[in-house]
Amino acid sequence: MLKFNFYTKIVSIVIVLLIPVLILYVYSNQTTTDVLRKELNQSNYNQLTFFQNQVNTNIEMISSWPHLLIHDPDVASFQAIFLKDKTLNLDGINLVKRIQTKLGLQESSSNWRTSLNIYSPSLGRVVSEKGAGFYDQKELKQMIKNGWQVSKKRVYGKDQFIFSLYTLSPFSSLGNPETANTIIKVEFDSSNIQDMLDRFKGDGRKEPFYYKKGVGVIYNRTANEELSGKLITELEKMGLHEVDNLTVKVGEESYLVHAVLSQTTGWYLIDYLPLSDMMSPIYTSNRLFYITVVGLLLVGFIGAYLLHSQVQVPILQLVRAFRRLKDGDYAVRLSPKGSHEFAFLSRQFNLMVGQIQELFEKVYVEKLHVKEARLKQLQSQINPHFFYNCFSFITSMAKLRNHEAVVAMAHNLSKYYRYTTRQERDLVPLSEEIEFVHYYLKIQQMRMPRLTFSIHVSSEANSLLIPLLIVQPLVENAVLHGIEPQAEDGIIRITTEQIGPYMCLIVDDNGLGLGREAITSLRLALDKPVEEEGGYGLWNVHQRMRLHFGEDAGLDFSLSPLGGLRAVLKWPLLAEEEQANSLIKLKPSSNSNMVKMEGPDGSDITGR
C-alpha cells in the first residue's frame, strides 16, 4: 500500500481544491461564451434586420412614387396637350413647369439622392426636374424590365451601381412599351446606400457591406475591401442562406459573419467582426484566471515546501532520532537550524539525549566497576586449586631438598601476587603486563613441566599503555581450558603485530580449541550482558578494552595455526601527544629497567 508523506498530502490537497475550481471556471467560461455568442448573434441580427428594413423602406417609398405620379392630373394631361398642338405654347410650358415642380418635390421628400423621369412613348418626349426633351425609344425599350434594374459604372476608379425602376401605364404594356401612355423611371445610385452603411458603421467595430452574387459589392467608404473580398470568397464556398451566422477563418484570424437577405433588392447585407475582438475580454479574463491559478499553485507549492522543510523534515528527524535512541544509540544528535519551534525541540532533544547518555555511561561505568570489583574479589580470593598446587609443589620440593625449585616457585609466586594486588593504576605499559604474564607462566610451567611458552613483543608495542591485568586472563584461559585437559605437551605463544592504525596482541595455544560455531557463539557473548554461569574473565577483558579505547577495540577469537584457539586483543594506536600524557600520569616504577628473560625453551622474553 502506498504511503504519502506530509508534503505529498498538502500538494494533493491544493490540487484537489483547484480541480473543481478549474472545472467550474471552464464550465462557466463555456456557458458565458455560448451565451455571449448567442446574444451577439441575436443583437447583430436585430441590427442588420433593422438596417435592412430602413434601406427597404426607402426603396419601397421610392418605388411608390411612379404610382402616385401616374394618377396626377398634370401628368395625365401632359400627353393630351402635345397631341392637340405639336408646338409648345404657354399652357404647355406651364404644365411642364408644374410637372417639374412636382418631380422636384417628390425627389426632395426623401433624403436619398434620386431622379424621376416621365416618358411619353406616343410623343417621344421626356420630362425631368432638370428639363424636357426627346429620347431614343429603342434605347428605352431595351432598358425596360420588370422590377429594379442594376447597372454598374466606374466613378473615380471605384464601382458605382445605378438602381432603376420603370413603371408603365397601363401595366399591361410592359411587353410592348411603345403602346404605353406614360412611362415613369425612378433612379438612384449606390452612394445613398454607402451613406447609410457609413452611419451604421459609426461604432467603429462593424464592417457592413452589400453583396449580390454576379452583380457586385457595395462597400462602406472606409471598408477593408481586400479582407471583405476574401470573406466573400469563403462565403461563396460555404453558401449563403436567407439568414446566416457563420464563423469564417481567413488566414490565422477567425471572423464572426452575419448575413441577411433583402427580399426587396435580392442583395445580402453582410457584417463581420473579428472573433478576437469579441472574445478579447473573455481571453483577458481567462489569462488573469490562469495566472491566478498558477500563482495559487505556486503559493501552494511554496507553502507545502515550507511545511515540508519547517515541519515534516524536523519531525522525521525527531522520529529517526527516537528510533535510534530506542535501539540504544545514545550518540544520536540533531542539527537544529533557525530559531523556530522545531529548532528549540531539537536542541532540547540533544540536551535530553546528552543527559541520558551521560547517565547511562555513569551507570555503565558503575556496573563495570562493580564487575571489576567482583573480578578483583575473585582474584583476591586466589584460586584455591592454583594456590594449593603451588604450595603442594613447594612442600614436595622441600621434602626432596630441592631448594632451588622452592626458591624459584616462591620468587615467582611473590612476583605474581605482588602484581595482582597493586591496583593503584588503570593503565600500565604493555611490558609490565607481559612481565606479569611471564611470572604466571613460569609458575604454571613448574607445575606442568610439559608446558612450554614463547613471548615475542616488539619494541614499539612495549611502551603502549593497556588496562591492568588484561593479558593474564587470556593466558589463563589457554592454560586451564586448552593445555591442562590434554595429556600432550602444551605450547603457548604470545606475539604482537601492527595492522594499520591498530596494535594486536595474539595468544596462540595448541590445546583442545573450539569449533567454528563455538567461536561464533563466544564472539556474540562478548557483546551481550554478562551471564553468571558464563564467567566474567573474557567478557571483562573485552568490555574494558572498548571502554578505554572505543568501539573499534576489543577481543576476538579464531582457530590457531598451532591447532588450538587464537585470542586476539586489538586496540587503536594513540597519537604521540596522548601517549605522552598517559605516561606522565603513570607513577614511576622502581623496576622499570629493560630486562632480558628466557623461557624454558630458550626463547627470548623482552620486558621491563
CATH number at residue 553: 3.30.565.10
Give domain status of residue 58, yes or no: no
Residue 331 near residue 361 (C-beta atoms within 8 A): no
Is pLDDT of 581 > 60? no
One domain, residues 431 and 580: yes
Give domain status of residue 114, yes or no: yes
Give domain status of residue 262, yes or no: no
φ, ψ for residue 121, nearest 5 deg: -60, -35
Give the pLDDT score at 80. 61
Give domain status of residue 55, yes or no: no
Task: Provide the terminal-to-terminal Cα distance of the chain, rounded to the nearest Å.
Answer: 69
Q: Which three cell numbers stand for residue 213?
A: 452574387
One domain, residues 449 and 354: no
One domain, residues 491 and 601: yes
Quote the pTM value.
0.48
Q: Which three cell numbers stand for residue 495?
A: 606475539
Give domain status of residue 238, yes or no: no
Give the pLDDT score at 590. 35
One domain, residues 179 and 108: yes
User: Tens of pLDDT along 21-73?
Assistant: 778 878 887 887 778 778 877 888 888 888 888 888 888 888 888 888 888 88
One domain, residues 372 and 451: no
Give domain status of residue 549, yes or no: yes
- Provide the 3-class DSSP secondary structure of residue 88: coil
Question: Which of residues 427 and 599 earns the better pLDDT score?
Answer: 427
* Cell 532533544, located at residue: 349
CA 169-175-176 angle, 5° bins: 70
One domain, residues 358 and 475: no
- Segments forming the whole domain that contains residue 457: 422-607
Is pLDDT of 601 > 70? no
Residue 521 near residue 530 (C-beta atoms within 8 A): no
Instruction: Give the pLDDT mean for 428-440.
Output: 89
Give the pLDDT score at 571. 94
Is pLDDT of 599 > 50? no
Give the pLDDT score at 453. 93
Give domain status of residue 4, yes or no: no
Q: Which three cell numbers stand for residue 403?
A: 631448594
- Provide the 3-class DSSP secondary structure of residue 570: strand
Distance CA 293, CA 17 (A): 11
Instruction: Give the pLDDT mean for 381-389.
Output: 58
User: Tens of pLDDT along 233-246?
Assistant: 888 888 888 888 88
User: Tens of pLDDT along 509-566?
Assistant: 998 888 889 898 888 888 877 665 555 678 888 888 888 888 889 999 999 999 999 9
Question: Which of residues 78 and 45 earns the better pLDDT score?
Answer: 45
* Cell 473580398, located at residue: 229
One domain, residues 350 and 432: no
One domain, residues 370 and 426: no
Distance CA 179, CA 167 (A): 13
Last residue of a domain, one of 353, 381, 409: 381
Range in 82-86, 140-144, 169-173, 419-423 the model is least confident about: 82-86
One domain, residues 561 and 481: yes
Total count of domains within the chain: 3
Q: H-type helices in 133-273, by residue range?
A: 137-143, 191-200, 225-238
Last residue of a domain, one of 187, 214, 245: 187
Last residue of a domain, one of 352, 381, 410: 381
One domain, residues 371 and 507: no
Q: What is the 3-class SS of 180-209, one letter each residue?
A: CCEEEEEEEECHHHHHHHHHHCCCCCCCCE
Q: Which three cell numbers stand for residue 190?
A: 449606390
One domain, residues 377 and 427: no
One domain, residues 564 and 474: yes
Give the pLDDT score at 469. 82
Give domain status of residue 444, yes or no: yes
Residue type, 315: I
Give the pLDDT score at 530. 64
